[in-house]
Structure 1
Amino acid sequence: MGRIICAGLGPGDPELMSVRADRLVRSASHVAYFRKKGRPGQARKMVEGLLAPGVTEYAMEYPVTTELPFDSADYNDCLARFYDGWADRLAHEASARDVVVLCEGDPFFYGSFMHLYTRLRGRVAVDVVPGIPGMVGCWWATGSPMTWGDDVLTVLMGTMPEDDLVRHIEAADAIAIMKTGRNLPRVRSALARAGKLEQAWLVQHGTMPQQQMSRLADTAHEVCPYFAIVLVHGQGRRPEVAE
């Protein structure tokens, strides 16, 4: 019997990958990764040049991404069948060998692997290697501490209804908003309504070669990449700086 080993690759820069994940990637004979159809896949791009010659690759291509509303029954049914199918295939492969599944960020922090994990657990041995979450790489890129003292950090999804975003933003000290993409106008509007737009930063492709960072209020974009996070830094209790 082999194992399914999910390696969290961190926020994007391969040098921020853990020693354990790097070792697993370099020694893997079979690797699987998610990607959008027609794209190389971010996780696969992150390990370019690290894989051994002759490695067997399994590209798990999403059957749908933005073509259907994410909260629709059709979307959920389509993805459920997709995860069911790949769980079966990976379980079969792991009956004879280890398979390393590549995952950006941390696999247990909004990672797609979670949907495979719940289907594979109890059927085959599964190991998960944690990674630095993408939002950590993004706030590191701003060069400013994200939280101070007893600040409360709130993580939100840009897919939420605008009124819900406003309610959470108003109650938070420090904020990370994920899944922005085409939801950026809604996120901008919610921050403006909550009086925090001027404090917000948009970090695109954090820690990656194409990283971009700007104040959200100065950004005219109506759409941003999937790998983009909006941040509002906490301003709470700070120790006095000695003169």
Structure 2
Amino acid sequence: MERNERMSGTLYGLGIGPGDPELITLKALRILQAADVVAYPAPEAGDSLARRIVAPHLKGGQTEIAIRMPLTVARFPAQAVYEQAAEDLAAHLAAGRSIAVLCEGDPFLYGSFMYLFGRLAEDFPVEVVPGVSSLTACAAALKHPLVSRNDVLTVIPAPLDDETIGAKLLHTDAAAIIKLGRHGPRIVALLKELGLAGNAHYIERATMPEQRILPLAEVDPASIPYFAMILVHRRGEQHFMEFQS
């Protein structure tokens, strides 16, 4: 398909933040309310978290497209789902309609929007609006700085194997372990084995009404949800004390 920016609508990838509706940026809010079509990821059954985040800001009267997909690790990303969604969105764009695609956190930080971006960016005008990421939201909620001075921060997806995670933890100043869920028990055990459990801070569902912050020792590993994060700093409380002197 040849790009025709004069006739085509624009595809917007909107970062809408980690959960608190007030953490959407002014730019994302403006585009959200002006778009002809609002699309968002959703589970195969049930409500969309992304739509729930922006619900207070929706003006009504817009076409809504729920991109329903399996959220199990074994079936994600669901390529067929994204192929079909890209075709559906392309039809609206070709007709001159603007589309706001909602993405929790930031679109280009493990965001599902990138799978649509890869399929549509060559044929239609696209604008990506960054959002407040879960990394910064968790640090703010925990009241614990991520990094300072020349610290190196490593983002570690929990599905990686123990050897890889252990090596990354031992060769960085600070780490954010994400995508916990069913990997929670293994990650908690690994942190204890490496002697880093005392330097770890646990939070789940940051900025949402269900937010919980617990000492790692009090966390039930078997109940850790996907939307949970563990922040670790090798200097532990010494890192925090540096800001008090």
Partner residue in 2 for 1:133:
133
- Pairwise CA distance, 1:239: 5.6
Give the unaligned 5+ runs of structure 1.
none
For residue 225 of structure 1, what is the amino acid of its counterpart? Answer: P
Alpha-carbon contact 2:9-2:98 (below 8 Å) kept: yes
| Alpha carbons of structure 1 residues 237 and 215: separation in structure 2 relative to 1, 3 Å | closer
Alpha-carbon contact 1:11-1:135 (below 8 Å) kept: no
| Alpha carbons of structure 1 residues 109 and 215: separation in structure 2 relative to 1, 3 Å | same
Q: Secondary structure at the residue paired with 1:166?
A: helix
1:65 equivalent to 2:71? Answer yes
Partner residue in 1 for 2:227:
227
- Pairwise CA distance, 1:214: 0.8
Q: Deviations over 1:5-54 (max 9, x none)?
A: 11100121121111100111222231000011222111100011211222
For residue 215 of structure 2, what is the amino acid of its counterpart? Answer: R
TM-score between both structures, scaled by the size of structure 2: 0.89
Where in structure 2 are the equivalents of 1:50-89 lying within 5 Å?
Answer: 50-62=57-69, 64-66=70-72, 70=74, 75=75, 79-89=78-88
How far apart in 2 are the matches of 1:165 and 1:206?
Answer: 23
| Alpha carbons of structure 1 residues 241 and 211: separation in structure 2 relative to 1, 3 Å | closer
Partner residue in 1 for 2:49:
42
Partner residue in 1 for 2:93:
94
- Pairwise CA distance, 1:238: 7.3
| Alpha carbons of structure 1 residues 29 and 189: separation in structure 2 relative to 1, 3 Å | same
Partner residue in 1 for 2:201:
201
| Alpha carbons of structure 1 residues 130 and 40: separation in structure 2 relative to 1, 3 Å | same
How far apart in 1 are the matches of 2:158 and 2:86?
Answer: 28
Alignment root-mean-square deviation, CA: 1.9
- Percent identity for Structure 1 against Structure 2: 36
For residue 171 of structure 1, what is the amino acid of its counterpart? Answer: H
Alpha-carbon contact 1:146-1:234 (below 8 Å) kept: no
Partner residue in 1 for 2:5:
none
Deviation larger for 123-132 or 189-198: 189-198
How far apart in 1 are the matches of 2:117 and 2:78?
Answer: 14
Corresponding residue to 1:33 among 33, 40, 60: 40
How far apart in 2 are the matches of 1:239 and 1:163?
Answer: 31
- Pairwise CA distance, 1:148: 2.3
Partner residue in 1 for 2:4:
none
Q: Secondary structure at the residue paired with 1:222?
A: helix
TM-score between both structures, scaled by the size of structure 1: 0.90
Alpha-carbon contact 2:196-2:234 (below 8 Å) kept: no
Structure ranking higher in helix proportion: 2
Alpha-carbon contact 1:12-1:46 (below 8 Å) kept: yes
Give the unaligned 5+ runs of structure 2.
1-7
